[in-house]
Structure 1
Amino acid sequence: MVSLIVAHARQNVIGFMGDMPWSLPADLKHLKELTTGNTIVMGRKTFETLKKPLPNRRNVVLTSNQNFSAEGFDVIHSIEEIESLPGKVFIFGGSTIYKQAMHLVDEMYITVIDASFAGDTFFPSYDINQWTVESKIKGIQDDKNRYPHTFFQLTRRL
């Protein structure tokens, strides 16, 4: 099964100058709960923001660079290789990988942050009518999670 996980703000903003433009610990906890024990696939730019593999999951970098290697990361060179990865696979970003892999995705885990931020990286538009909302959970705002947010799980309609 190919899943996708993303947090985006208004206007589908997912990044600014190589980083997330917000701090939302509840979303990072949610991401950890969902992806631990599974595989995450990211592009090279997302890899560069991490610097080290996320623990307790298989970390895969999708890059066209045939000579790329990084300790703790597996490497694939085409979007089609995602389907041959065993177990549950999460498309982890960034924008280019989301766009390229959208046709492979069976389900999406989307954290929608109800705030506006400056951004230069965006989650691609999608037709909500092609998806069923399996769950919608309003996140709790507090001192550490200052922005209103909602966790969605969507599955592709057949």
Structure 2
Amino acid sequence: MRTGPTGGIALVERDKEIEEAIGLILGTAPGERPMRPDFGCGIHEYVFAPGDGATAGRIAQEVRAALERWEPRIEVTDVVVAFDAVEEGTLYIDVHYTVRATNDLRNLVFPFYTIPSSEAGPESERPVPDGPASRARREAGAR
């Protein structure tokens, strides 16, 4: 905790605050917050997904959609998902964005951990992620 010039609690700088908000959005699965069940990012549906280009594309799409919805202070310019070549089950989500208030170009790398296929069990027992469509089916079934 930092103190400000008057001895009170110092507020986080704007850029740091935005980075923290992005991490919070990406780290929260939809349904995790009871009072705001639609808040978060659908990347958590991909914990058991295969580590391939199709999965990377779907994760990038989920990240872009969540940040465009929940973080109005930024404009997402690109999302790049890369699988770690050494550590199976680790991928890095590189978010490139512009801070609207300052037009400052920034990027943030968010590590995301999946269950490696060698540890996930038989493929027939793994959940099949399908992103927004699975959420829509769950919501329709809950009504």
The TM tier, using the shorter chain, reads under 0.3
Which structure's CA Rg is the greater one? 2
TM-score normalised by L of structure 1? 0.24
TM-score normalised by L of structure 2? 0.25
Of Structure 1 and Structure 2, which has the larger fraction of its residues in strand? 1
Of Structure 1 and Structure 2, which has the larger fraction of its residues in helix? 2
Q: Which has the higher contact order (CA 8 A, sep 6+)?
A: 1
